[in-house]
């Protein structure tokens, strides 16, 4: 029970820290909207996502880590990663909005995120095209597969029956 509590505490700490990191990423995006191609904001965004990936991986939050890593990978492998084109900013904003939703929907007890990956694949593909509009690169889903969710196995926390609709 103490180990389960420790994991729950670590998860809660992560979720709080992840919100701070997400806010920082959104501030980097706002900075890029005001000052086109600011390399400092680009580096800040990449470092923020790297921290989020690392923390999520440490806790085994597969879905959040995978999506964040794919987003970071796209930004790092852009034609010029320290200079994001203005046309990519709306696509990046949509990706960060989805990340915010994912963080809100992480189960606070299990750390699982029970969502399909269809929307994230579309948003990542849109960002890839916006970052490299002249590239003949394959879509994100073919160059970096969406996260593989481990099978969900609910663990019993109480002996109470659940109601199903």
Q: Is residue 153 part of a domain?
A: no
| Residue of 160 and 53 predicted with greater confidence | 53
Closest by Cα among 115, 109, 20, 13 to 64: 115
How far CA 151 is from CA of 31, 70, 106, 143, 154, in Å, comes to: 40, 21, 16, 23, 10
* pLDDT tens for each residue of 86-109: 889 999 999 999 999 999 999 988
The pTM (predicted TM-score) of the whole model is: 0.77
What mean pLDDT, rounded, does the chain reach?
81
Q: How far, in Å, CA of 54 to CA of 86, rounded?
A: 28
Q: Is residue 51 part of a domain?
A: yes
Q: What is the pLDDT of residue 46?
A: 94
Q: Is residue 112 part of a domain?
A: yes
Q: Is residue 148 part of a domain?
A: no
Q: Is residue 163 part of a domain?
A: no
For 9, the domain range is 2-143
pLDDT at 57 over 90: yes
Q: Is residue 40 part of a domain?
A: yes
* Total number of domains in the chain: 1
Percent of the chain with pLDDT over 90: 57
Q: Worst-scoring range by mean pLDDT, 20-24, 45-49, 79-83, 154-158?
A: 154-158
Instruction: Compute the CA torsion angle 61, 62, 67, 73 (nearest 10 deg).
Output: 110
Q: How far, in Å, CA of 121 to CA of 157, rounded?
A: 33
Q: How far, in Å, CA of 148 to CA of 24, rounded?
A: 27
Q: What is the CATH number of the domain that holds 42?
A: 1.20.120.160
Closest by Cα among 32, 33, 64 to 49: 64
């Amino acid at each position: 029970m103490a180990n389960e509590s420790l994991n729950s505490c670590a998860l809660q700490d992560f979720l709080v820290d992840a919100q701070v990191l997400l806010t920082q990423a959104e501030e980097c995006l706002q900075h890029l909207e005001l000052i086109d191609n600011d390399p400092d904001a680009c580096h800040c965004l990449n470092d923020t996502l790297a921290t989020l990936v690392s923390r999520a991986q440490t806790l085994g939050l597969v879905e959040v880590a995978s999506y964040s890593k794919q987003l970071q990978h796209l930004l790092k492998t852009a034609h010029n990663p320290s200079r994001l084109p203005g046309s990519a900013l709306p696509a990046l904003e949509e990706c960060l909005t989805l990340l915010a939703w994912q963080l809100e929907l992480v189960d606070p007890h299990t750390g699982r995120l029970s969502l399909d990956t269809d929307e994230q694949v579309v948003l990542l593909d849109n960002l890839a095209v916006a970052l490299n509009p002249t590239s003949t690169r394959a879509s994100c889903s073919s160059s970096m597969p969406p996260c593989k969710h481990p099978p969900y196995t609910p663990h019993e926390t109480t002996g109470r029956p659940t109601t199903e609709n």
